[in-house]
Amino acid sequence: MLPRAVIILFLLAIAYTLGSAFYYLIRDKGRGSRAVRQLSWRIGLSMLLFLMLYGAFLLGWLKPGSAGPIGHARPAAAAPAPDP
């Protein structure tokens, strides 16, 4: 549960920096450096989230294909039909 909360917090922070960069871009009419600073924060947060996810995968905390997006097990793949 904690890893999911951390991921959601990072995604919210990334969305906030994107929105604030848009606000500063409109407010400063493209002449200020605040939008660039916010977009730099967004890139840094995105890279940190990616590295954290990759590290969790390497440590075995996250497993690919373990559970579906809503917590249900994925259905087994159907066996191929035999040739007549």
**For 50-60, what is each residue's pLDDT tens digit?**
999 999 889 88
Distance CA 24, CA 74 (A): 44
Q: Residue 75 — left, alpha, or beta (φ > 0 → left; ψ -120 to 50 → alpha)?
A: beta
pTM comes to 0.68
Q: Cβ distance 8 to 32 under 8 Å?
A: no
Model confidence pLDDT, tens digit, residues 3-38: 788 889 999 999 999 999 999 989 888 787 888 899
Give the domain ranges of the chain. Answer: 2-59
